[in-house]
Structure 1
Amino acid sequence: MSPVSYPLPPMAAVSTGELPVGEKWVYEPKFDGFRCLAHAVAGRARLHSRQLRSLTRYFPEIVAALAELGEDVVLDGELVVWQQGRLDFAALQERLQPSTAGAGRLAIAKPAAYVVFDLLARQGTDLRPLPWTERRGRLEGLLGARLPHGLVLMPTAADPAVGRLWMREHTASGIEGVVAKRVDQPYRAGARAWRKVKTRLTAEAVVGGVLGTLEEPEALIVGRYGAHGRLRVAGRTTPLPAAARAHLRDVLTAPAGDHPWPGVIPSARFGQRPSEPVAYVQVAPSVVVELEVDTAFEQDRWRHPARFMRSRPDLHPEEITQASSQ
């Protein structure tokens, strides 16, 4: 039996604007996936999410790969699905099927990989008190000797230039940013002691609605034009600062005729789990805004709220299409 009480709250990262640098830091790419803790003992494996919900039956191919290791281990890592040259978060979400038979079919059609970045226990020894560099060495020894199909060792680099390269050149493949870890740090369950830097991009979108009122807009609902000339919902912004609210109340107007969107919008369109539809105030789709967004863009929408930067009166709404570069 492992001495680690499983499942345990995973160690987490706090967001920061810049990569920390120095000889005590190492860097890992932040993949667009599900955080996953894994426990393999006596040839059986269990998987749990960051919120400690069981993921075991949704990913039978990963359970089999962990059992194939032939050792009692507790691992930390990221579940991902790779499709058409990039990490596909939407396909990963589809793996959460309610039926065991459906999970088995999707394991074949859309197989996942488990990208392992930490070894918390092995063969009855609790490794969490060890510094990162020793745990990493033991993880490389474990997976270097036997790497079943479906398990992947997380890349790591000591050079911050490599971390910046991941952020700058690999966003198209689904890398969201970089996680920085101290080499002398033990694994502290539940602590937010790593550093996370997300890649930030700029993009344009058309304002189609607001949360709040036209006189006091609290956040924007934005869209882009599709291939058939229809304005499709592409996301929402974070709460607007006071200066942005004052500016936007002067440029946003009520629609003069029919609006391209329904009166309420499914929450899934904003990357949220299905819940109550989002009610909003429609506005004339005549204002283009520039946004700061992250790389989580799929199915023609941003999964996370964007940050309003400024309006773009120099751009016409119909120029802003789903094919527009981020």
Structure 2
Amino acid sequence: MSPVPYPLEPMVAVRAERLPVGEKWTYEPKFDGFRCLAHSSGGRVRLQSRQGRPLTRYFPEIVAAVAALGEDVVLDGELVVWHEGRLDFPALQQRLHPSGAQAGRLAAARPAAYVVFDLLARGGTDLRPAPYAERRRRLEELLGTRLPHGLVLVPASTDVGVGRLWMREHTASGIEGVVAKRVDQTYRAGARAWRKIRTRLTAEAVVGGVLGSLPEPEALVVGRFGTHGRLRVAGRTTPLDGADRAHLRRVLTAAGTDHPWPPVLPPGRFGRRPAEPVPYVQVEPTVVVEIEVDAAYEQDRWRHPVRFVRPRLDLRPEEIARALGR
């Protein structure tokens, strides 16, 4: 039996604003997927989520790939689904189907890949006390000569320029940013010791509502135009500061009766779980704002809160629609 317990609380990353620099750091691209720990012992493979939820029956192709290694191992990595050259998070979510028969059908229609970035145990030896550099060497040794279909060894580099290149050039493929790890760091279950730096981009959106009140807007509900030219809820901003609230209350106006959105937004619209309906105050969708966003954007919305930058009073909503080709 593996000395690493199952389920295991994984080591996690804390958000940082910029890449740490120095000879003690290494960099890995951050894939947009599900965190997953894979335990293989005595020919039995079990998959678990970051929260300890069993994932084994949802991803039979990954179970088979880990089993094909033919060794007792504990791996840490990210489950992803590729579609048309980029990571497809909605397709990955659809893999969590309650039916076993459906799991097999979905595995054939939208196969997942397991992007492995750490080796926690091998052959009964607990590698968590070893530094990252040693675990990485052993992981490359394990996967370097035989890589079963469905397993991917995550790229890694000690060159900060490569890390910046991943952040700058690979967002279109679904790379969210970079995870920075110290080469001398051990693996400590539950520790928030890695650094996660998300790629930040700017975009324009239309304000369709506010959280809080119109005199005191706490956050904005912003929209983007969908494929049929309809303004759809695209996300919410992080909390506004006092200066931004004062500026926005002067340019936003209460909506009339023909607002394109329902008076209460459906549960889960901003990607939170557990989800509840979201009450908000509708405003006339005439004000365009510049926002700072990350790369997690699919189905015409951002999965994470965005940051308000400034109003774009020089732009009109129809110009945004034309820019998107809608």
> TM over 0.5: same fold?
yes
**Cα pair distance change 1:227/1:136, threshold 3 Å:** closer
Q: Counterpart of 1:249?
A: 249
Q: Which residue of 1 aligns with 2:299?
A: 299
- SS class of match (1:320): helix
Post-superposition offset of 1:8? 1.4
Partner residue in 1 for 2:181: 181
Amino acid in structure 1 at the alignment position of 2:13: A
Matched, 1:47 2:68: no
Tell me the distance in 2 between the aligned counterparts of 1:286 and 1:83: 35
Partners of 1:64 and 1:139 in 2: how far apart? 19
Equivalence map 1:108-257=2 (5 Å):
108-257=108-257
Alpha carbons 2:268, 2:276 under 8 Å: kept: no
Q: CA offset at residue 274 of structure 1?
A: 6.7
TM-score by length of 1: 0.97
User: Residue 222 of structure 2: SS of its match in structure 1?
Assistant: strand
CA distance in 1, matches of 2:229, 2:157: 45
RMSD between superposed Cα atoms in Å: 1.4
Residues 237-288 of structure 1: CA deviation (Å, up to 9, x unaligned): 1111111111111111111331111111123332234732211111111111
Q: Which amino acid is the alignment partner of residue 3 of structure 1?
A: P
- 1:175, 1:226 → 2: CA distance? 23
> Does the 8 Å CA contact 1:31/1:78 hold for their aligned counterparts?
yes
**Partner secondary structure for residue 229 of structure 2:** coil
Separation in 1, partners of 2:81, 2:111:
6
* Inter-partner Cα distance in structure 1 for 2:218 and 2:83: 37
Query: Which residue identity does 1:252 align to in structure 2?
Result: L
Amino acid at match of 1:87: L
- Which runs of no fewer than 5 residues in structure 1 stay unpaired? none
Mapped partners of 2:299, 2:319: distance in 1: 19
| Alpha-carbon contact 2:265-2:278 (below 8 Å) kept | yes
Decide whether the 8 Å contact of 1:34 with 1:78 is kept in 2. Answer: yes
Letter aligned with residue 126 of structure 2: D
SS in 2 for 1:92: helix
Q: Which moved more, 1:213-222 or 1:259-268?
A: 259-268
Specify the code of the residue in structure 2 equivalent to 1:97: H
Q: Which residue of 1 aligns with 2:270?
A: 270
Match runs of 1:5-154 below 5 Å: 5-154=5-154
Count of residues in correspondence between the two structures: 325
Whether the aligned pair in 1 keeps the contact of 2:143 and 2:153 (CA below 8 Å) is: yes
Report the alpha carbon displacement of residue 323 of structure 1 after superposing the two structures with TM.
Answer: 6.0
8 Å Cα contact 2:79/2:115 also seen in 1: yes
Mapped partners of 2:139, 2:322: distance in 1: 42
Whether the 8 Å contact between 1:204 and 1:291 is mirrored in structure 2 is yes
Partner of 2:269: helix, strand, or coil?
helix
Unaligned runs of 5+ in 2: none
CA distance in 2, matches of 1:196, 1:265: 31
- Tell which deviates more after alignment, 208-217 or 315-324: 315-324
Give the distance between the partners of 1:225 and 1:216, measured in 2 at CA: 26
Indicate how the Cα distance of structure 1 residues 140 and 243 shifts in structure 2: closer, same or farther if over 3 A, else same.
Answer: same
- Structure 2 vs 1, CA of residues 229 and 274 (structure 1 numbering), >3 Å: closer, same or farther? farther
Change in Cα spacing, 1:226 to 1:90, as seen in structure 2 (3 Å) is same
Instruction: State the secondary structure of the residue aligned to 2:178.
Output: strand
Distance 1:56 1:321 in 2: 43
Task: Check whether the contact 1:224–1:322 (CA below 8 A) recurs between aligned residues.
Answer: no
Q: Distance in 1 between matches of 2:133 and 2:107?
A: 33
AA aligned opposite 1:265 = L
**Counterpart contact for 1:79–1:112, Cα < 8 Å:** yes
CA spacing shift, 1:294–1:25, aligned 2, 3 Å: same
Q: Equivalents in 2 of 1:9, 1:221: separation in Å?
A: 35
- 1:72-117: CA deviation from partner (whole Å, max 9, x where unpaired): 1111000000001101111111111011111111000000000111
Check 1:299–1:277 CA distance in 2 against 1; reply closer, same or farther (3 A cut): same
The verdict on how the C-alpha distance between 1:83 and 1:274 changes in structure 2, with shifts beyond 3 A counting, is farther
For 1:268, what is the secondary structure of its paired residue? coil
Quote the sequence identity (%): 77
Does the 8 A contact of 1:225 with 1:318 survive in 2? Answer: no
Aligned-partner Cα distance in 1 for 2:265–2:221? 10
**Structure 1 residues 68, 236: CA separation in 2 closer, same or farther (over 3 Å shift)?**
same
The aligned runs of 1:305-320 (5 Å cut-off) are: 305-320=305-320
CA distance in 2 between counterparts of 1:138 and 1:121 reads 10
Contact 1:264/1:279 (8 A) holds in 2: yes
Measure how far apart 1:315 and its partner are.
Answer: 0.3
